[in-house]
Structure 1
């Protein structure tokens, strides 16, 4: 199948493939849209089953970044990169250097950042080969702490703000004693759990790595659950914070929660799932809106800003979601469709 016939191809401007025999790098960069500015999106390393799975992921993720930047009012386009491989087994300095050269080959059309399987240290290694690596240094932190370039704290804070606004809209209450099931307690999911715990929420957690679950149990009194059981839990909120497509034909009939609000990209297996959720009375926080804290952070690190300005920008996520919910109710439309329409108005504008 040609990339042009791929079901997730959406008039992408540039899709590039790289194989470096010496380092073992097999990677793909997808640039979706640069109407508002150069493409920005993280680099993900994951043990995909085959190259088609990786292509599917990078096409979906890069498109999501276009919508994310537009909804966050950033002068950036959307792109993404993926490396095929297990980050716990196949990562090396040579592989990261090769990835840096690959990013550099696009000449600034695409800037990369941290994502699943990639650390700030990895980005610093890439940056020895390219000027188009972001998140390697920072000047601002939303909470006034010492910044290290990792956008995960800002992503988690944005998801927390958005989840809180979603609970207020759907359940008309604060977070005290609200039951939240978190799928994935890695860099972002763990920090989200911490925010929720500090505000009195009751947590249920799962992860493919048991040490993450145990940490949440020890520190936040979370209840561990198996991955297969999470979506059937009798909870108020489900927070997908791992890989995408977790809201699908198998999980949808199990859901008892009234709110879905989490950090994962591409949570809906199909766009039509948004309408299914609406008909079931489940409020869905569009993923690229609620998880925009990280890209907002990276944007502020590239300009003259302040801790307060960064925090204020992230906190706008709650207001943006509320406006989407109100418009969705007024038009009897799915929240993901409403968010898409608003974003498309912005990045397709030619004025």
Structure 2
């Protein structure tokens, strides 16, 4: 089951785009149904097109066994519609596993809007997106993601009730995601060195956007020596000036001597080109789909590197948003307490990996999917009564 969570064969760049003839061939040769079949069954895939309001959106509902499908709405200038479909299918499936492993009563889904978040956002566009979500009548609940923010969710909320992560409730999930990643790094340290203390440890962070910046702050406060990079110079400057961290050019981050390499960009950073360059014994970061292909997780295990599976360590944001949907209503204190448990989740995955002698990404998949299977069995048993 784990292979569907990662990128298909072919070469991918550090931001997750297919490279060379092999990568392009994968994307262009796939039909819609072939793409869906290759990533495993999805309950529903919806294409929303509203030319007057310039909406091109895909909503993927992967699995609702555990509850309504919760997953963010990503806005990105995909090069092709096929790439957008590929992304939403991977991400929605990963959300099923993420929500499951963190014990949430929620299934997995995701949506993507094809467009440039810096230039294409309008209230009309997000109203149209909200209408598309509303038509699913609660099977899918959206929230912010890469390229969208809490204010965008407010605009969508004008057209649908099925939006979480609003400013007046859970708000920006980035600090909670960063806290979870920080606790996950501490868990990896505990597993490798016998102590979660990061004082004096060297950490290289690829990407210091909202999550990466908050993560760097946690690490600096814990006494770690931090080096950062980003494709946007202004983000590097902010981190250097406000946190006192070191910085390097984007490609040089893979060569920085460190104890922990933390991918916090868009994904695909762990690949054939970068693995030989990364000297860290721990890879733990906030990015989704960090492994360019599943076999890269196998290679990391063979090298003795502890890899914290992305959807386990970066679950803080969805845990925070999901708190809005509880019967008690949102509580920042409860959300934070649940995010702190990511430490235990990461340790559980590492322990299963060691016990079974399997890569950590497979161990995580087994734990997450078992909960879905157990829930399906319980539902079948109940229906027979």
Task: Verify same fold: TM over 0.5.
Answer: yes
Deviations 1:58-104 (A, max 9, x none): 11111110000100000100001111111111111111111111111
Once residues 338 and 103 of structure 1 are traced to their aligned partners in structure 2, the CA distance between those partners, rounded to angstroms, is 33
> Quick one: distance in 2 between partners of 1:47 and 1:203?
31
Deviates more, 1:177-186 or 1:123-132: 177-186
Per the alignment, residue 5 of structure 1 pairs with 34
Corresponding residue to 2:286 among 238, 248, 263: 263
1:137 deviates by 4.3
SS at match of 1:181: strand
Q: Is the 8 A contact 2:320 2:332 kept in 1?
A: no
Which residue of structure 2 aligns with residue 144 of structure 1? none
Between 1:267-276 and 1:335-344, the stretch displaced more is 267-276
Matching residue of 1:338: 363
RMSD: 1.4
Q: Is 1:191 aligned with 2:214? A: yes
Shift of 1:320: 1.1
Q: Match for residue 15 of structure 1?
A: 45
Separation of aligned partners in 2, 1:158 and 1:196: 12
> Which of the numbers 349, 355, 366 marks the counterpart of 1:324?
349
**Alignment counterpart, residue 106 of structure 2, candidates 76, 92, 112:** 76
Q: Which moved more, 1:19-28 or 1:29-38?
A: 19-28
Instruction: Give the equivalent residue in structure 1 for 2:9.
Output: none
Q: What's the offset of the Cα at 1:2?
A: 2.6
Structure 1 regions of 5+ residues with no counterpart? 140-146
Residue of structure 1 in register with 2:129 after alignment: 99
Q: Tell me which moved more, 169-178 or 63-72.
A: 169-178
> Which moves more between the two structures, 274-283 or 171-180?
171-180
Q: Where does structure 1 differ by over 4 angstroms across 4 or more consecutive aligned residues?
A: none
Distance in 2 (alpha carbons) for counterparts of 1:187 and 1:316: 22
Mean CA deviation greater in 69-78 or 93-102: 93-102
Q: Secondary structure at the match of 1:239?
A: strand
Please give the alpha-carbon distance, in whole angstroms, between the structure 2 residues aligned to 1:231 and 1:105.
45
> Unpaired runs of 5+ in structure 2?
1-29, 379-385
Contact 1:126 / 1:133 at 8 angstroms: preserved in 2? Answer: yes
Aligned residues: 343
TM-score normalised by the chain length of structure 1: 0.94
1:220-231 correspondence runs (5 A): 220-231=243-254
Q: Structure 2 length normalisation: TM-score? A: 0.86
**Distance in 2 of aligned mates of 1:177 and 1:220:** 16
